[in-house]
């Protein structure tokens, strides 16, 4: 059974259970009350056009396009996202679906994904049980969350976008109190990985456990986080968030993995597995000025990243393979480089240290409904970076228009200098309902 079908089955089963309880009640049907209190829904439709300029000499352009090289690509994508909730008695059903289709000059692609679909049962005023597919968004960072042990990684270029969850069973226990410790909450999660269920989380035929202990102490949000199981390595985490003033917030995260396996390309050119102990951490702040300018800055250390020398070996592996391919020596080395990339070298933010900065100004110069912004991500080890100016306009009812242009800037054998794209232009229209 596929993940999507299993999630749909769980939602249907819980609907029937909730409906059984409903049928046993005596009530007067009030359509207006039903619409307001029991069922809510919304979402958006989106049309997006993109123009990519490829970095033809970059390692990932050579690796991904050596059979059909191109300098540019145009793509159009249409998306429908639906979210909602239905509440009956002590049970609430929650869902978020997304379907999309994309056409570019190379191919057509489409998909339907159940991002979330779960039932929430209020077993008592302090205890809530959740069953189904959901996300957690653990961590306090804006662009990265090293303590998000059971969430999929954010896209730092669009960190506020919805993410697909995992199928779980969860219990939330919350207690409020007087004194310096105002709130205490414990979340425990059982996350199975079986054939057809959460297979992309890690090794199959395992049931994994994660927990979060939340404290609101002296007006500071604090989380202690833990994950263990055979699908991934055991890990520990801590995060916090504190408002120093009404317009200043600071936050941080630290995650420690005592031992895990990592693929690495050695100086001799062989791909080996090494055992490492990783500590990743993040520190940042958010500041809102009197002029309605929001600034977010974060420093991120990726304990699971590669050094400059290790990345350089991979980039040279690709260029050597491409040179051999051009000389008529076949694609064996390129295919080997592709396998190495899939082992870890091809993931986003593959280095050790990064700086994220984002500035947005709401309605500057009294231009109504207009929000310009500028975002940069800097790879601190090699100095390469991305730079993204954007314009957002919301002057039409329920409509958001966004224009973005992203440059990737870096020299040879740097992370952003070897990316597949050199630049990307995006024009996006969303209608919310």
Asked if residue 9 is part of any domain, the answer here is: no
State how far the Cα of 306 lies from the Cα of 145, in Å rounded to an integer.
18
Could you tell me if residue 26 is inside a domain? no
Query: Of all residues in the chain, what percent carry a pLDDT higher than 70?
Result: 91
pLDDT band (50, 70, 90) for residue 106 = confident
pLDDT at position 296 is 99
The residue behind tokens 């504190």 is 242
413 lies in some domain: yes
Q: Does a structural domain hold residue 1?
A: no
CATH number, domain of 65, equals 2.40.160
Average pLDDT, the chain: 92
pLDDT at 268: 86
Q: How does pLDDT run across 353-385, given as a tens digit for each residue?
A: 999 999 999 999 999 999 999 999 999 999 999
Q: What angle do CA 9, 10, 15 make, to 5 degrees?
A: 95
Residue 183 has pLDDT above 80, yes or no: yes
| 153 pLDDT tier (thresholds 50, 70, 90) | very high
Q: Is residue 15 part of a domain?
A: no
Neighbouring CB atoms inside 10 A of 35's CB total 10
Give residue 36's pLDDT: 55
In a domain, 110, yes or no: yes
Answer yes or no: is 209 within a domain.
yes
Q: Is 4 part of a structural domain of the chain?
A: no
pLDDT at 30: 53
Mean pLDDT of the region 302-311: 95
Indicate the number of domains in the chain.
1
Beta partners for residue 293, in sequence order? 361
Q: pTM here?
A: 0.88
Q: What's the average model confidence in pLDDT over 396-419?
A: 97
| Domain extent for 369 | 49-432
């Amino acid at each position: 059974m596929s993940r999507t079908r299993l999630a749909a089955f769980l939602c249907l089963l819980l609907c029937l259970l909730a409906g059984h309880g409903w049928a046993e009640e005596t009530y007067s049907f009030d359509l207006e009350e039903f619409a307001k209190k029991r069922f809510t829904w919304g979402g958006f439709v989106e049309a997006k056009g993109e123009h990519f300029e490829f970095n033809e000499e970059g390692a990932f352009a050579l690796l991904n396009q050596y059979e059909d090289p191109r300098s540019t690509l145009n793509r159009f994508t249409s998306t429908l996202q639906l979210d909602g909730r239905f509440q009956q008695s002590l049970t609430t059903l929650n869902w978020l679906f997304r379907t999309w289709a994309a056409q570019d000059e190379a191919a057509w692609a489409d998909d339907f994904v159940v991002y979330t679909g779960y039932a929430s049962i209020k077993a008592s005023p302090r205890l809530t049980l959740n069953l189904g597919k959901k996300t957690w968004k653990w961590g306090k960072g804006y662009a990265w969350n090293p303590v998000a042990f059971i969430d999929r990684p954010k896209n730092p270029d669009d960190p506020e976008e919805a993410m697909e969850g995992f199928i779980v069973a969860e219990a939330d226990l919350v207690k409020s109190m007087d004194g310096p410790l105002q709130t205490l909450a414990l979340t425990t999660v059982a996350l199975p990985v079986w054939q057809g269920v959460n297979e992309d989380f890690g090794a199959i035929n395992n049931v994994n456990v994660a927990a979060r202990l939340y404290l609101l102490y002296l007006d500071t949000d604090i989380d202690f986080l833990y994950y263990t199981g055979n699908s991934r390595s055991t890990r520990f985490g801590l995060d916090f968030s504190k408002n120093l003033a009404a317009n200043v917030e600071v936050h941080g995260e630290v995650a420690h993995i005592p031992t895990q396996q990592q693929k690495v390309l050695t100086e001799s050119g062989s791909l080996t597995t090494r055992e490492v102990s990783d500590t990743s951490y993040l520190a940042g702040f958010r500041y809102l000025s009197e002029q309605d300018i929001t600034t977010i800055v974060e420093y991120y250390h990726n304990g699971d990243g590669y050094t400059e020398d290790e990345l350089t070996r991979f980039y040279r592996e690709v260029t050597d393979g491409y040179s051999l391919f051009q000389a008529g020596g076949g694609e064996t080395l390129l295919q080997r480089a592709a396998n190495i990339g899939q082992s870890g070298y091809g993931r986003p933010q593959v280095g050790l240290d990064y700086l994220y900065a984002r500035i947005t100004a709401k309605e500057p110069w009294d231009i109504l409904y207009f929000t310009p912004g500028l975002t940069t991500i800097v790879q601190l080890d090699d100095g390469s970076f991305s730079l993204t100016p954007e314009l957002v306009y919301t002057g039409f009812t329920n409509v958001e228009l966004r224009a973005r242009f992203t440059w990737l800037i870096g020299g040879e054998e740097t992370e952003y200098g070897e990316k597949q794209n050199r630049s990307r232009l995006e024009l996006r229209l969303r209608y919310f309902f």
